[in-house]
Amino acid sequence: MRSDFSLRNVVIAGNWKMNKTKAETEAFFDAVKEVEVKAGVEAIVCVPFPYLITAKRLTENTAVQIGAQTMHFEKNGAFTGEVSPVMLQDIGVTHVIIGHSERREYFNETDETVNKKVLAAHEHGLTPIVCVGETLEQRENNETLSHIEQQVSYALAGLSAEQVKQTIIAYEPIWAIGTGKTASSEDANEVCAHIRSVVSKVASSEAANEITILYGGSVNMKNIDELLATSDIDGALIGGASLEADSYKKLIEAGNRRK
């Protein structure tokens, strides 16, 4: 299946994970506020819950969008410590990472809760950034494509083709996250192309062509151009290299170059 890159936006999404203070958050957004983001490029930063409102305020009238890193699937109720999609929508958050491998590994996220959260995100007008990825063992056992197929099919179950198009999928091989080991651009692209064929099966070929698929795992300013030069990778989900404003701005410049 050939995909048409020109239909899709380039997405440069930062994932700060559990990092930064309020002062560091303010300094970051002060430094990125004037960044040029070309038409067809989206710059998103997913910050910890306590800084969402600050980040929203500091990015008003800029091209930078703000996302959360997880959420509950219920609207409200007796779920001590949780944050709901209604709350995120209420404060103007536009994106939410769902099913990051760290959430799956340390906080019992399953394909089932991921699916509930993806549905809830759409119900409340949030764009889910759904993470999928294999372990090193699965890769060595040649189980990558079947594992990804299962995660993607589960995550998208029950969505309309329209909602599928509005979903972002991030392919993040677990062995590449925070390790400095990036998948080769060929290997990463092969899996992203496979994700498109799964989307074609579970939704439609049109949705497969339009859905945004990111690569994540040790992306930095040295390797991003090569990853973005492939046919099926539309952008990146970036942890470590998104923490410093200078480096995040360079990643956006790479996105601008691609458009």
Task: Select the residue interacting with ligand PGA from 41, 129, 203, 219 (CB under 6 A).
Answer: 219
Q: Is 217 a residue that touches ligand PGA (CB under 6 A)?
A: yes
- Residue 158 C-beta: closest distance to ligand PGA, Å: 25
How far is Cα 159 from Cα 151, in angstroms, rounded to an integer? 14
Name the residue nearer to ligand PGA (CB basis): 125 or 178. Answer: 178
Which phi-psi region, left, alpha or beta, contains residue 180 (left: φ > 0; alpha: ψ -120 to 50)?
Answer: left
> Looking only at residues 39 through 68 of this chain, which bind ligand PGA when binding is defined by CB under 6 A?
none
By CB under 6 A, which span of 2-10, 65-73, 111-119, 232-240 interacts with ligand PGA?
Answer: 232-240
Q: Is 216 a residue that touches ligand PGA (CB under 6 A)?
A: yes
Is 137 among the catalytic positions?
no
- Residue 252 C-beta: closest distance to ligand PGA, Å: 15
How far is Cα 8 from Cα 182, in angstroms, rounded to an integer? 23
How far is Cα 146 from Cα 157, in angstroms, rounded to an integer? 16
Amino acid at site 231: S
Q: Is 240 a residue that touches ligand PGA (CB under 6 A)?
A: yes
Q: Is 237 a residue that touches ligand PGA (CB under 6 A)?
A: yes
Q: Is 85 a residue that touches ligand PGA (CB under 6 A)?
A: no
Residue 19, token pair as written in the block: 């990092």
- Which distant-in-sequence residues (6+ apart) come within 8 Å of 255 by Cβ? 10, 11, 12, 37, 38, 41, 43, 228, 235
The answer to whether residues 13 and 237 touch, using CB atoms and an 8 Å cutoff, is yes
> Looking only at residues 12 through 31 of this chain, which bind ligand PGA when binding is defined by CB under 6 A?
15
How far is Cα 41 from Cα 259, in angstroms, rounded to an integer? 7
Is 210 among the catalytic positions?
no
Angle (nearest 5°) at CA 137 between 152 and 219? 65
Q: Which residue's CB atom is positioned nearest to ligand PGA?
A: 239
Task: Select the residue interacting with ligand PGA from 12, 66, 177, 199 (CB under 6 A).
Answer: 177
Catalytic positions: 100, 172
Interacting residue ranges for ligand PGA, rule: CB under 6 A: 15, 172, 177-178, 216-219, 237-241
